[in-house]
Structure 1
């Protein structure tokens, strides 16, 4: 399924000048990307983005950015049949032990699922947010491929060039 619309990310200020890099996820891995695979974890709402970026303890300094997105091949994480075709189910997507799996197995089952989805040509995954306080209608779009042109177009909204100004 295609996605067209606004996306939001709440970034650690360390990465604020590189809001299109995916570097943090690439260095440390995430629920839906193993270490070494860049990914952008974006949300469909501002509040979901804030919840995602501040899951442990108190609200930390955060830089909020938005994007215009036109992504052609999005895996719909709400589609039970599509998940099953890739050996995945909703409870495994939501499992909170993915970090433990990374430590014990070297790769989490959700990361293996992401590798398969990428190999099958998906550019992104639409998935429910599992952050504390998220509701059933809070969604993320995890991007594995993005560029400034189709078919995985992602454009940072920074009309005033705030992120490129010298500190």
Structure 2
């Protein structure tokens, strides 16, 4: 499925000057990317982005950014049949032990992401697993993005606030 619309990220201020880099995910790994593979984790709403960035403890300093997105090839994780065809299911996506499993190799969700990347997907649409999130809280995880089609992602910063 293609995705056209706004996306949001709540960044650690350390990465605020590089809101298109995917560097944090590359350094530490994420549910849908192993260490060494850049990924950009974005949300379809501001509140989901804030939940994602502040999952433990108190609200920490956060830089909120928005993007205009036109992403052609997005795997929809809400489609149970498509998940099954890829050897996944909703329970495996929600597995809370992915970080522990990453310590001894690759988490199943990371292997799933590798298969999707190899098949030419630009990203995946998946529900948020952050505390307080509901099935309506969605994230778009990107492995391929740039300033042109077919995976166009443009930071909204008309006033150049991040360059100051």
TM-score range, shorter chain: over 0.9
Point out the more displaced range, 57-66 or 76-85.
Answer: 76-85
Instruction: Report the Cα offset of residue 103 of structure 1.
Output: 1.2
- Residue equivalent to 1:19: 19
* Matched residue, 2:136: 137
TM-aligned CA deviation for residue 84 of structure 1:
1.1
- The CA RMSD over aligned residues, in Å, is 0.5
Q: TM-score, with normalisation over the residues of structure 1?
A: 0.97
Q: Give the Cα–Cα distance (whole angstroms) in 1 for the partners of residues 135 and 28 of structure 2.
A: 27
In 1, Cα distance between equivalents of 2:135 and 2:112:
22
**Aligned-pair CA distance for 1:71:** 0.2
Count of residue pairs brought into register by the alignment: 164
User: Corresponding residue for 1:91?
Assistant: 91
Aligned residue number for residue 9 of structure 2: 9
User: Is the aligned partner of 1:118 residue 2:105?
Assistant: no
Are 1:154 and 2:153 matched, yes or no?
Answer: yes
For structure 1, list consecutive stretches of 5 or more residues without a partner in the other structure: none
Q: Which residue of 2 aligns with 1:73?
A: 73
Deviations 1:47-90 (A, max 9, x none): 00000000010000000000000000000000111111111111
1:37, CA displacement in angstroms? 0.5
Give the distance between the partners of 1:27 and 1:84, measured in 2 at CA. 30
Name stretches of at least 5 consecutive residues in structure 2 with no aligned partner: none
4+ residue runs over 4 A deviation: none
